[in-house]
Structure 1
Amino acid sequence: MNKRKVFNDPVYGFINIPSDLIFDVIEHPYLQRLRRIRQMGLADFVYPGALHTRFHHALGAMHLMQSTLSSLRNKGQEISEDEFEATLIAILLHDIGHGPFSHALEYVLIPGVGHEQMSELIIRRLCDTFGGNMHLAYQIFTDQYARKFFHQLVSSQLDIDRLDYLKRDCFYTGVSEGEIGADRIIKMLDVRNDKIVVEEKGIYSIENFLNARRLMYWQVYLHKTSVSAEKMMISTMNRSIDLAAQGVDVQASPSLAFFLNQKVTLDELEQDQNCLKHFVSLDDIDIWAAIKQWVYHPDRVLSDLSSRLLERRLFRIKLSNEVTPEEKLEALEKKILSKLKITEQELKYFMVHGSISNAAYVSSGQKINIITKEGKIFDIAQASDLPNIKAMSRIVKKYYLCWPKDVNLRHNSIAYS
């Protein structure tokens, strides 16, 4: 069988599959599942074009990694064929542990277990299936391989994952402010002392990359309507989980019902093949199919939340630089209880508050290193003529408050309407 297939990607054009093993990994049901998981969760409630999937992103990231490794080779970096293939597999599988709606429902169905841990677990299982360079890919993914710069390309402040998702998310949302010069950045990368560095002439491309990332977070990823939709989805899922814990029948697919009816730990996922089998069967379709059923559920809270999501009757949301005063929260609670005729125990599903934060560059973590023509290496945040990057290193936090729009808050004691 000819396994050297070509994908036609709307962002990059033709993407080649460079090896038989990579073809087999792409064809595996675990990776094919990513076709049914939206890259941007519920962002299409704001940007209708944001319907691309984790599968799109995986292929795009692999394509950019090919370009990056080829560029490094051209600069004299020794990269073996095994390292080349394993690094492509590592980036191809870096998001394979995502559950339904990507980040939106992370930690909801499996409390305390993030997608990185699930990715690591699933890649280990694929090692048992394929062997060969899968083991090296696992080492690179988990940063256990001796040559550390390969892991940096997969996961760091300036990794291939971010280069693809910024370009791809800009393309599908139509938000041009997030556009980056990924090709130029890749050409500017090199390796010194086993660390990825950026040639000095690429410093402004990196500044644009960081600024684009900051803008995309506020304008797209943390857009207040997206946050509202995500909080409603979480409330809906939490209600279904709470009902199931009370012994109430909550209709769902077998795999979703598995997680609704029991709390699963990481140890159980690692030791019980049945747990993992149910997880890799889950995707966005399970959730939407369940929500369509829950519209008719006898529980009024679950039915109401499900109807609001399906009909896009989203919660009102207010963002503030300060925590909402306690007296305003109490006044809002009374309004919601009175309007919706719900109990105090049910209030948590209809009134949600917390914080969101955005930091384009966390300089205390893995740094983005610039190398000068003289061979000196410095952190990009220390560049004297780039005050914007120093500003972007600060974490900006905002506080949100969500509640149903049909609760009219025109009372003078509450400054929301």
Structure 2
Amino acid sequence: MPTMRKIINDPVHGFITINHPLLFKIIEHPYFQRLRRIKQMAMASFVYPGAVHTRLHHALGAYHLMCCAIKELKDKEVVISQQEELAVKCAILLHDIGHGPFSHALEHILVQGVHHESLSLQIMQVMNDEFNGELDLTIEIFTDKYHKPFLHQLISGQLDMDRMDYLSRDSFFTGVSEGVIGYDRILKMLAVKDNQLVVEEKGVHSVEKFLIARRQMYWQVYLHKTVLSAEKMLVHILKRARIIFDETDKNIVLNSPLDFFFGKFDGNIDRESLNLFCLLDDSDIECAIKKWSHHPDKVLSTLSTWLLNRVLLKCKLQTHPFEQDYINEKTEKIAAKFNLTQQEVAYFVFTGDTTNTTYQLGDENILILFKNGRVQEISSIENALIQQTVSTPIKKFYIFFPKGQTPVTI
């Protein structure tokens, strides 16, 4: 019987090969196909119009990099069985299967208190039941319970295939060249020592470039103040809709699974609620916002209309908290202008903070393998940039409020 084999032409990595029946079963499954209806970068297209690639693109790209990484390790005589190779490839394909609409932007908002990795695991377990246990080893590796930790580190770690793909892919689709990384060089430098993933000494500078690119992408793209504004507005729309949701209100009911998560959902993810979650994608939220732009509730309709028309809240960022007098002044001014109550104005004027730590010491350290066989954590080697810059957290404080020219009436 001939081997199943198909190639997918990817704009970032070129041709991606799918060559095992189990991989086909995963890709063809409705849970996986849902990922083509979820944008990878949520609201980033409000700033970078090309950033409309999907979670499915990213999953296939990360799978391709995993294939390359496994080949390199096997060429270096790292023992990886055919079963382990297939399982880790399945795991990287499925690593983001639990993402909901608009990905991280709505994490904990639609399904409160449940992380997407927890949902990913539950979805994997459902698929494993359907596949008669073919994903047993995949789940063991994904949950880091397998006796070869380096396989899990390829999926989830400081130098995992997930990060290498999304930095390259997001850079490509946004056109932000600062995110370009030499992932091919890093892959060539990967090795395994004592069952831990390590990088050969001559790959240190490529890793350094990777970490710097990641930091720059966070501030220039992922945490861009206009992207943050669109995401915060989206979150506030969903929060307001949840508060005023009433199954008898035809102006807010959507006749979609969103109704369940706004109304009857009790926080328990069982098989029924998981199936409903897997019916949700970006289009459900987009349709909801269109409908809610005509809702009688002033807060919901105003925020929805503004987001539809890209009338975004102004964002100010600084390195220290905003003075309370300044916040009060903005709040009172906006409340008077839009005739809002104290409770309502909190949807339009609000503060918070965001932190970006590019490299954090912990369980996912980057280990450097020297020629003499010694292994050392990257921030402890004689490299001032890693020690002083990349591992230092950056915290910024923000305030959002309507711009001066924002229309009073919709």
Aligned to 1:254: 256
Aligned to 2:245: 244
1:182 matched to 2:183? The reply is yes
Distance 2:68 2:298 in 1: 53
> How far apart are residue 347 of structure 1 and its match?
1.5
CA contact (8 A) 2:247 2:263 kept: no
> Runs ≥4 in structure 1, deviation > 3 angstroms?
245-249
**Which region of structure 1 is more displaced relative to structure 2, 69-78 or 251-260?**
251-260
1:403 corresponds, among 381, 401, 404, to 401
Distance 1:79 1:340 in 2: 64
Letter in 2 for 1:131: N
1:331 corresponds, among 329, 337, 340, to 329
Secondary structure at the aligned position of 2:346 is classed as helix
Distance 1:385 1:88 in 2: 34
1:9-408 correspondence to structure 2 within 5 Å: 9-244=10-245, 248-249=249-250, 250-265=252-267, 268-269=268-269, 271=270, 273-406=271-404
Distance 1:334 1:213 in 2: 39
Aligned to 1:411: none
CA contact (8 A) 1:231 1:352 kept: no
> How far apart are residue 131 of structure 1 and its match?
2.9
Distance 2:404 2:384 in 1: 47
Distance 1:102 1:312 in 2: 20
**Which region of structure 1 is more displaced relative to structure 2, 36-45 or 294-303?**
294-303
Distance 2:189 2:257 in 1: 45
| RMSD value, Cα | 1.5
CA contact (8 A) 2:8 2:17 kept: yes
Distance 2:249 2:320 in 1: 39
1:297-329 Cα offsets, whole Å, 9 max, x none, are: 111211111100000000000001111111111
Q: How many residues align?
A: 404
> How far apart are residue 132 of structure 1 and its match?
4.2
CA contact (8 A) 1:207 1:389 kept: no
> How far apart are residue 60 of structure 1 and its match?
0.3
**Which region of structure 1 is more displaced relative to structure 2, 119-128 or 238-247?**
238-247
CA contact (8 A) 2:256 2:284 kept: no
Secondary structure at the aligned position of 1:122 is classed as helix
> How far apart are residue 247 of structure 1 and its match?
6.3
Identify unmatched segments of 5+ residues in structure 2. none
Distance 1:374 1:386 in 2: 22
Letter in 2 for 1:74: D
Identify unmatched segments of 5+ residues in structure 1. 409-417
CA contact (8 A) 2:247 2:253 kept: no
| TM-score, with structure 1 as normaliser | 0.94
Letter in 1 for 2:91: A
When residues 83 and 196 of structure 1 are mapped into structure 2, their CA distance, relative to the original with a 3 A threshold, is same
> How far apart are residue 390 of structure 1 and its match?
3.4
1:274-312 Cα offsets, whole Å, 9 max, x none, are: 211110000000000011111111112111111000000
CA contact (8 A) 2:229 2:400 kept: yes
Secondary structure at the aligned position of 1:257 is classed as helix
Distance 2:41 2:181 in 1: 18
> How far apart are residue 403 of structure 1 and its match?
1.0
**Percent of residue pairs bearing the same amino acid type:** 48
1:4-53 Cα offsets, whole Å, 9 max, x none, are: 22111000111110201100100000000000000001000010000000
1:173-218 Cα offsets, whole Å, 9 max, x none, are: 0000110011110010000011000000000000000000000000
Distance 1:352 1:365 in 2: 35
> How far apart are residue 385 of structure 1 and its match?
3.0
Distance 1:322 1:145 in 2: 44
| TM-score, with structure 2 as normaliser | 0.96
> How far apart are residue 95 of structure 1 and its match?
0.4
Letter in 2 for 1:398: K
Letter in 2 for 1:397: K
CA contact (8 A) 1:336 1:407 kept: no
> How far apart are residue 256 of structure 1 and its match?
1.0
Letter in 1 for 2:5: R
